[in-house]
Amino acid sequence: MQSLYDIPAPAKLNLFLHITGRRPDGYHLLQSVFMLIDWCDTLHFDLRTDGQISREDLTWALPADDLVVRAAEALQRASGCHLGAHIGIAKSVPAQAGMGGGSSDAASTLLALNRLWKLNFSVETLSSIGLGLGADVPFFLCGKHAWVEGIGEKITPLELPRARFVVVKPEAGLTTQLIFSDPELKRDSETAIISGFAANTIERIFKYGHNDLQAVAQKLCPGVSRALEWLESQGLSGRMTGSGSAVFAQLLHGIDENIDRQSAPDALQVRLCSNMDVHPLMGWAPSDRLVKV
């Protein structure tokens, strides 16, 4: 039986998240920088010849309509492939954290099954399939840190300096819909430009901007405030990532050993992470944008 084991699905942090407006159809216009970090879920794939998609939860139980199964079924429909797969999911990235765990799992599933089923779909084709699963899926397929605009569909890859971070996840999570539907949400941040972000020094690039969702999140989920307060007790200035409840702060050189993780309340999950140069599955699918000579 053909298999693919230990396929990583890395999380992301939003260095900032600005809401610059709202479209007539209700979708919010945003600007953000998405950064890949080395906090990963791990997926296992075994080929099935009967066309069935089955799933095994290797850590905690997942919803029946988890994005991994939906991604596999979407790829089957788009390709007309009659093969199937048994997928084992070892979760590590917490849900409703704003770290893109489900979307990353879906992206890694598309890349892995594209290889296991020998489809040879391009990154761009996989991204069009992924966009129907979630707005963050194309980012994880692009393989690099990125400046993200529009409703999340405009992705410009960029490079970031290597850095260390502490990520803190409260016990409670937050849903995107709950935050974006709040009438107190700030929706009029000034539009930024990518060159303005890139012009910052290494010391300032990770402190750029703010997260417009944070004030509403703190109102809805007291755990967000407790996580930020704990970071402050460690001498760190934190901010929320994405639209979930996790917060993070950059660790300065030599400060990792000074973080007293044991002092964090039991309701807080604390993890030290590094950003990645590229997605670990970068190059697993060809690109239509490459010029063939």
Structure tokens at 245: 């409840």
Residue % of the chain over a pLDDT of 90? 90
The least confident of 102-116, 135-149, 279-293 is 279-293
Is a pLDDT exceeding 70 seen at residue 78? yes
DSSP secondary structure, 170-224, as one string? ESS---HHHHHT-TT----PPPP-HHHHHTS-HHHHTT-S-BTTHHHHHHH-HHH
Q: Which of 105, 136, 169, 212 is catalytic?
A: 136
Per the annotation, the verdict on 12 as an active-site residue is yes
- What confidence tens digit (pLDDT) does each residue in 155-187 have? 999 999 999 999 999 999 999 999 999 999 999
Segment 130-138 mean pLDDT: 94
Per the annotation, the verdict on 41 as an active-site residue is no
CATH superfamily label, 164-274: GHMP kinase, C-terminal domain (3.30.70.890)
**CATH number at 3-157:** 3.30.230.10
Q: What is the Cα–Cα distance from 247 to 64, expressed in whole angstroms?
A: 28
Give the domain ranges of the chain.
3-157, 164-274
Q: What is the Cα–Cα distance from 33 to 15, expressed in whole angstroms?
A: 6
User: Smallest Cα–Cα separation from 261: which of 172, 152, 121, 167?
Assistant: 167
What is the pLDDT, as a whole number, of residue 293?
A: 33
Q: What is the Cα–Cα distance from 237 to 24, expressed in whole angstroms?
A: 36
- What confidence tens digit (pLDDT) does each residue in 179-214 have? 999 999 999 999 999 999 999 988 899 999 999 999
- What confidence tens digit (pLDDT) does each residue in 20-30 have? 999 999 889 99
Is a pLDDT exceeding 90 seen at residue 289? no
